[in-house]
Amino acid sequence: MPHFSVKMEVPPSLLPPTLGPATPPDPFAQRNRTRTREKLGAAGAAIVGVLAKFKAILLFLPKVKLLVTAGTALVSVAAYSQIWGLPFAAGFVVLIFVHEMGHVIALRREGIKASAPMFIPFMGAVITARSLGDNALAEARVGLAGPILGSIGSAAVGVYGALTGSDMLQALAYVGFLINLFNLLPVVPLDGGRAMAAMAPWMWFLGFGAMVVLDFIAPNPILLVITVIAGYTLYRRWEQRRSPSAAQIAYYAVSPRNRAIVGSVYIGLIVALAIGMHLTYLHRSFS
């Protein structure tokens, strides 16, 4: 096989300066190079400044979330104070915060990142998370954690009110017990509906019926909004259960033992909250 030898000439313009002919330095070229270096240095400093500001923004984001929580809490206090006065309104918002933190703590125990509570006047508060857990049992734990911690908070207020003889604190504890009991209605998206996901999903229909009855007994726009959300959520979730996928079947697979535990906690909460309401009820006569 013949071999070919190829020789290529390199143009002088492409040679490195050390290989080219010696020429005297050009002062204008040096000046241009100095200006280029200065411009590059300024551009680099600008980029570093932008990155520093971006880092500062990232570090400030958690503080922004706290500011949102604090800001919405203050707005709620101002709204509720128009009805109950400032001290009671502030205490009520604190009890809502304690309830919501029960959900946040439970979500984090499940390995799910949850937002700080954001308050909505006359609607309570909301937290956001990518899910409520990997299965119905985890959903039940997250759902019941709110009323559990909320009940403890209300009980603490009630005990302190009894020790100090404060009717205001007793009334605050009563309302706290009532709110937590309402949240145990067995309908999604309320906490009781989350517990029913692990116990008996068919109870969602009973809870939705109770919501409809409440709408007629005590017409209220907030109840109506909750009822509409509950109806939509019930329809969507029951449609999924009618033709379940393998993932859906696995999601609702809860052992009898765990069903019994969730049921015991659920019923125990209802009894404890009813007792708490009885003990903190203040009779008032109007003449």
> Mean pLDDT of successive 10-residue segments in the chain (287 residues)?
35 39 50 53 49 43 65 91 93 95 93 87 85 90 96 97 95 96 94 94 93 90 90 90 84 93 96 96 65
Strand partners, 125: 119
Burial class of residue 152 (count of CB atoms within 10 Å of its CB; 0-12, 13-18, 19+): middle
Chain Cα centroid distance, residue 226 = 18
CB neighbours of 282 closer than 8 A, spacing ≥ 6? 167, 170, 171, 174
Helices marked H in the chain = 27-84, 86-109, 136-164, 167-182, 191-199, 203-217, 221-242, 246-251, 256-280
List, in order, residues 6 or more apart from 155 with CB less than 8 Å away: 173, 276
User: How far is Cα 194 from Cα 199, in angstroms, rounded to an integer?
Assistant: 9
Determine the pLDDT at residue 65: 63
CA distances from 179 to 50, 93, 146, 185, 277 (A): 48, 12, 11, 11, 10
Angle between helices 86-109 and 136-164 (to 10 degrees): 150
With tokens 């259960």, the residue in question is 241
- The predicted pLDDT at position 123 comes to 83
Q: Which residue has the tokens 């799910």?
A: 112
| Per-residue model confidence (pLDDT) at position 13 | 39
Please check whether residue 173 is in contact with residue 155, taking contact to mean a CB–CB distance below 8 angstroms: yes
pLDDT of residue 30: 55
- Structural contact between residues 189 and 233, judged by C-beta atoms closer than 8 angstroms: yes
Determine the pLDDT at residue 131.
81
The amino acid occupying position 276 is G
Is the full-model pTM beyond 0.95? no
Q: Which of 78, 77, 284, 272 is nearest to 167 (CA)?
A: 284
pLDDT score at 55: 43
Which pLDDT score, from 0 to 100, does residue 222 have? 85
